[in-house]
Amino acid sequence: MAQLDDLDRAILRILKEDARLTISEIAERLNRPESTIHFRIKKLQERNIIDKYTIVLGKDLQPKALALVYIQAETPIIEDFLERYIRHIMKTLSLLPNVLVVARSGKDGVIALIGEENPEKLNRFVDETIRVLPTLRRVEVMHIDEFSKGEGLLGFLVSV
Amino acid sequence: MAQLDDLDRAILRILKEDARLTISEIAERLNRPESTIHFRIKKLQERNIIDKYTIVLGKDLQPKALALVYIQAETPIIEDFLERYIRHIMKTLSLLPNVLVVARSGKDGVIALIGEENPEKLNRFVDETIRVLPTLRRVEVMHIDEFSKGEGLLGFLVSV
């Protein structure tokens, strides 16, 4: 785990809330000299504790209907085929703009977060793009209706 | 859907990659006058197309073991109890630092993204904090082994 002291953490929390704040604004909030804040941020960047500065997009660009889909492949006789098949599904899904996240789950599973304009489009996408994949054992669709934590991830993930 | 032209989209894509770039750097990349870029970004902020500027934290602070957990409550006789019970589970999980995302799925379901230092801690958390919740019908744990899209969400979601 990275060694961070209270000042590092305070700076990171402030930048997470608003990465546009200037060094002098952060220094004033934390009641520390600008040179200290400047040095700390430089170090946090060099150590890759801060990996990137980015923007979060607002509601207008975010999908209105969301679902997590768990896809489990049929275990085939030739094990090498399963590996290549899972890679193929992951790659195919990753290329689609309405698929926000693609992850592997175990030897035979893929998890995808799908975002669409409305529930009808979402269901159609699942039926026409996912359920038609050959040799699946199981497709489980978990609709996401509301977040109580982490909602910002939509504005972070959505592409333009 | 928000009305965005090619220039707006180009600016948003650049800021997503590096939100620290100055207006003159963006203007140079896109071969447009600084005044145009300045005006466009101002509008994108005013319209809340750009909701926030933030940082993504690096690997060191990210959890090493991840799982999605789907929790389904037993449908009780009194419907009002189910609603309050689901709210209670969501609120409780949202307060925990190792729970990165909490979302509602349907009337009786909750989805949570759990991040821990290692798989043992993750399993212990699921056993000791989630499986012990009363009146559950089903707890499904989907371990996440690898991302092929959206991996950056961990550095976005993790708290310091």
Nearest by CB to residue A50, choosing from B58, B102, B145, is: B58
Give tens-digit pLDDT for B116-154: 999 999 999 999 999 998 888 999 999 999 999 999 999
Give tens-digit pLDDT for B1-56: 568 999 999 999 999 999 999 999 999 999 999 999 999 999 999 999 999 999 99
Nearest by CB to residue B153, choosing from A2, A12, A156, is: A156
Chain B residues within an 8 Å CB radius of A102 = 147-150
B103 contacts A144? CB cut-off 8 A: yes
> For chain A, which domains are there?
6-46 (1.10.10.10), 59-157 (3.30.70.920)
Distance from the A69 Cα atom to the nearest Cα atom in chain B, whole angstroms: 11
Query: What whole-number distance in Å separates Cα of residue A113 and Cα of residue A115?
Result: 7
A4 CA to centre of own chain: 24
Give tens-digit pLDDT for A80-98: 888 899 999 999 999 999 9
* Residue with tokens 């006058």, as numbered in its chain: B33
Distance from the A133 Cα atom to the nearest Cα atom in chain B, whole angstroms: 18
Residue among A120, A55, A90, A79 at smallest CA distance from B53: A55
Amino acid at B44: L
Tell me, what's the pLDDT at B1? Answer: 56
Tell me, what's the pLDDT at B124? Answer: 96
| CA closest to A8 among chain B residues | B160
Nearest by CB to residue B16, choosing from A50, A55, A91, is: A55
- Region B77-81: mean pLDDT is 77
| CA closest to A2 among chain B residues | B60
* Angstrom distances, CA of residue A59 to CA of A19, A134, A154, B100: 19, 35, 9, 20
Under a CB-based contact definition with an 8 Å cutoff, are residues B53 and B88 in contact? no
* Residue with tokens 């991830």, as numbered in its chain: A153
CA dihedral B36, B10, B13, A86 (to 10 degrees): 170
Nearest by CB to residue A143, choosing from B106, B149, B150, is: B106
Under a CB-based contact definition with an 8 Å cutoff, are residues B130 and B71 in contact? yes
Chain A residues within an 8 Å CB radius of B155 = 51-52
Tell me, what's the pLDDT at A119? Answer: 95
pLDDT at B93 over 90: yes
For residue B148, count CB atoms less than 10 angstroms from its CB and return exposed for 0-12, middle for 13-18, buried for 19 or more: buried
Tell me, what's the pLDDT at B79? Answer: 73
Tell me, what's the pLDDT at A1? Answer: 56
ipTM surpasses 0.95: no
